[in-house]
Amino acid sequence: MSNERALRHLPVLITILVAFMLMIMPLPDALESFRPDWITLILIFWAMTVPRSYSVGIAWLVGIVLDVAQGTMLGQHALALSVVIYITVKFHLLMRVFPLSQLTATVFALLALYQFLLFWINGVAGVSANAIDYWGPVITGTLIWPILSTFLTGVRYRVQMGT
């Protein structure tokens, strides 16, 4: 029984680990501002599909690890991820029945909220950044969402079917 349970959690852990790798992977300076928020996208997907297992607590832990990995102010990503995932869990039943275009627009709003919270925290702390550093990840994350969502739905379906 515990092996079956661990097998169900394995895809989530692997996707979060891959998202961490994609977040800390070095990119050329020209592309750095357009790096999608992989962690946020992955957590939105899993919080929407499995909200009882992956919600605010996991988002907080992942955010703290992301703060340490990126060397940012401790707690800023944790707070922003927790707020975004709370909203996702709160409205997960509604979001699951959205068509892909409407869900993509919702993810755009969630990513924009995430970046706004980071912008606000950095503003209070006196850290300045260009506007493209905040809007670039929102745009690329929104463009990637339909592909990522379709891929992760397939992964989730295969794990449920046991193949």
What is the reported pLDDT for 140?
97
Q: The domain containing residue 62 runs over which residues?
A: 34-161
Nearest alpha-carbon partner for 157 in 16, 53, 11: 11
In a domain, 12, yes or no: no
pLDDT given at position 163: 57
What is the pLDDT averaged over residues 151-163? 82
Q: Is 108 part of any domain?
A: yes
End-to-end CA distance of the chain: 17
> Whose CA is closest to 103, among 112, 92, 114?
92
Q: What is the mean pLDDT of the chain?
A: 92
Q: Is the per-residue pLDDT at 1 higher than 70?
A: no
138 assigned to some structural domain: yes
Determine, yes or no, domain membership for 15.
no
Q: Which residue has the tokens 């990119």?
A: 27
Asked if 69 contacts 24 with a C-beta cutoff of 8 angstroms, the reply is yes
Quick check: pTM over 0.75?
Answer: yes
Kindly state the average pLDDT of the residues 89-104. 95
- Quick check: is 151 in a domain? yes
**69 assigned to some structural domain:** yes
Confidence of residue 8 (pLDDT cuts 50, 70, 90): confident
Residue 128 lies in a domain: yes
**Does the residue 154 lie in any domain?**
yes
User: Number of structural domains, the chain?
Assistant: 1
